[in-house]
Amino acid sequence: MARVLIIGAGGVGNVVAKKCAQNHTVFTDILLASRTKSKCDAIVAEIRSSARTAAATIATAQVDADNVPELAALIRAYKPHLVLNVALPYQDLTIMDACLETGVHYLDTANYEPRDVAKFEYSWQWAYQKRFEDKGLMALLGCGFDPGVTNVFTAWMHKHCLENAFALDIVDCNAGNHGKAFATNFNPEINIREITQNGRYWQDGQWVETQPLEIHRPVDYPGVGPRESYLLYHEELESLVKHFPKIRHARFWMTFGPEYIKHLTVLKNVGMTRIDPVDFQGHKVIPLEFLKALLPEPSSLGSGYTGKTCIGVQLHGTKAGSEATHFVYNVCDHAECWQEVQAQAVSYTTGVPAMIGAALMLTGVWKGAGVFNVEQLDPDPFMAALNTWGLPWQELADVQLVPLTAEL
């Protein structure tokens, strides 16, 4: 029997709760908690009304994820074996602190980010290594899709396809249509902070910085077709070049349509993407937080969402002494995700891997003491579970969707 506490009831939390309820032989007891309990109650009502998940034992609770004593009190009362964090990245450290205080394993899908600086990196969470190790607890970081599945894809190709990996390109395409003039597919505040900061890529042992969305090129995505793709910095690059030190070049690419770029440019130019407080009628207002309140809630985009996502990893290296390139990817359909769990594909592709990682931890397939990124663990059981739980993957050999880094 395994009890899990899920913290967060947004688009991803909805998927995680429903996929855990489907996998009720592992997740025998589930508690879904959020600052707004009514969101949890709505998700649980849908779980109980579905024949596929009606047998799940699931309850809800209210919790402030910024408050360590409140988190610890809830954990002590419920006694979960694992806390699955799909709250905001700002709250990673408080939830990790509560897990250490109460002796419970931890998993998240995105690395820590301070509220007042648009900067995300693993240093804050890697600093918890000894504390989790000393307690005999496991903390698994970044177990969504990117980061998460992309790390597993890299580890799997490194294990089975290439003797040495030298060049890494992660590509992320959302070719869906939600019918809105401008909306983000996950938390608008986090999404816009990520996209408007400078880009970075890894080249010959150092980071090369670029202007936001400065470098872009078309990529022909399987199952989708050509889409303009922009070079960003993304957190899995940091852990992958650390754990696969022979990688000399590493980049991350994401698609954005022209309407999205146009709206984002205007919003940035007029100051609406700022994260510092400004004075407005006697009050301190953070423009990006105000913009978030005006934009569609990402969990509301699923109904009527059409099209597909394609996310994959291109890895170049050597095989039997010769150069070789492999590409492993998943294609996910927005409408099919809505039919199954009432979510769009961006939430689905993040939530399913979080459930899989938690299941592997709870069953002892993935285990250890300390802080881990997913590429440090055996990729094979995770790859098998992706095919079982709704994110089947495919492999292409001897193709280059993105020209090698030397040609940038």
Model confidence band, residue 189 (pLDDT cutoffs 50, 70, 90):
confident
Give the pLDDT confidence score for residue 325 in this predicted structure: 95
Name every residue whose Cβ is closer than 8 Å to that of residue 392 and which is 6 or more positions away in sequence: 330, 386
Q: Where are the beta strands (DSSP E) in 47-96?
A: 58-62, 82-85
CB-count exposure of residue 331 (10 Å: 0-12, 13-18, 19+)? buried
Higher-confidence position of 183 and 317: 317
Of 130-134, 320-324, 370-374, which gets the smallest average pLDDT?
A: 320-324
pLDDT at 408 over 70: no
**Section 328-348 average pLDDT:** 96
At 405, is the pLDDT very low, low, confident or very high (cuts 50, 70, 90)?
low
Q: Compare 52 and 20 and report the one with higher pLDDT.
A: 20
How far is 32 from 43, CA to CA, in rounded Å? 9
Cα(310)–Cα(107) distance, integer angstroms: 25
Q: Highest-confidence range of 145-154, 192-201, 257-266, 302-311, by mean pLDDT?
A: 145-154
Angle of helix 188-196 relative to helix 287-294, nearest 10 degrees, comes to 130
Q: pLDDT-derived band of residue 118, with 50, 70 and 90 as boundaries? A: low
Segments making up each domain of the chain, as ranges: 3-141, 149-342+392-407
Give the pLDDT confidence score for residue 28 in this predicted structure: 95
Q: What is the average pLDDT score of the chain? A: 92
Q: How far apart are CA 155 and CA 347, in angstroms?
A: 23
Rounded mean pLDDT of 326-351? Answer: 96
Are 62 and 73 in contact by the 8 Å Cβ rule? The answer is: no
Q: Which backbone phi and psi does 258 adopt, to 5 degrees?
A: -60, -35
Q: What are residue 194's phi and psi, to 5 degrees?
A: -65, -40
* Topology of the domain covering 149-342+392-407: Dihydrodipicolinate Reductase; domain 2 (3.30.360)
> Is 330 in contact with 389 (CB distance < 8 Å)?
no
Binning pLDDT at 50, 70 and 90, where does residue 267 land? confident
Task: Give residue 104's pLDDT.
Answer: 98
Is the Cα dihedral 21, 22, 24, 26 positive or negative? negative
Q: Is the pLDDT of residue 91 over 90?
A: yes
The yes-or-no verdict on residue 378 having pLDDT over 70 is yes
Which 8-state DSSP code applies to residue 148? B
Q: And the tokens for 155?
A: 């580890």
Q: Which of 277, 294, 295 is nearest to 286 (CA)?
A: 277
Residue 121 has pLDDT above 70, yes or no: yes
Q: Dihedral sign, CA of 97, 103, 104, 109?
A: positive
Task: Say if residues 31 and 60 touch (Cβ distance below 8 Å).
Answer: yes
The larger pLDDT score, comparing residue 89 to residue 259, is at 89
Task: Categorise residue 388: left if φ over 0, alpha if ψ from -120 to 50, beta otherwise.
Answer: alpha
116-148 core/surface letters (b: 16 or more CB in 10 A; e: else): eebebebeebbebeeebeebebbbbbbbbbbbb
pLDDT of residue 68: 98
Report the C-alpha dihedral over residues 136, 149, 347, 369, rounded to 10 degrees. 0
In this prediction, residues 122-146 reach a mean pLDDT of 97
**CA separation (Å) from 370 to 128, 138, 200, 330, 367?**
8, 5, 28, 30, 10
Q: What band does 185 get if pLDDT is binned at 50, 70 and 90?
A: low
On the question of pLDDT at 407 being above 60, the answer is: no
Position 339 confidence tier, pLDDT thresholds 50, 70, 90: very high
Please tell me the distance from the alpha carbon of residue 206 to that of residue 40, in angstroms, as a whole number.
44
pLDDT at 274: 85
| Under 8 Å between Cβ of 287 and 273 | yes
DSSP 312-374: EEEEEEEETTEEEEEEEEEEEEHHHHHHHHS--HHHHHHHHHHHHHHHHHHTTSS--SEEEEG
Per-residue pLDDT tens digits for 190-206: 777 777 888 999 999 99
Query: What would the mean pLDDT of 109-128 be, rounded to a whole number?
Result: 88
Q: Kind of pairing, strands 164-174 and 308-319?
A: antiparallel
Q: So what's the pLDDT on residue 116?
A: 74
Q: Dump pLDDT digits (tens) for 66-87.
A: 999 999 999 999 999 999 999 9
Q: What is the pLDDT of residue 56?
A: 87
Per-residue pLDDT at 386: 98
Supply 308's token pair.
């597909």
Confidence of residue 46 (pLDDT cuts 50, 70, 90): very high
Residue 252 near residue 194 (C-beta atoms within 8 A): no
CATH class in words for 3-141: alpha beta
pLDDT digits (tens, 9 = 90+) for 206-255: 999 999 889 999 999 999 999 999 999 999 999 999 999 999 999 999 99
Q: What is the DSSP letter of 306?
A: B
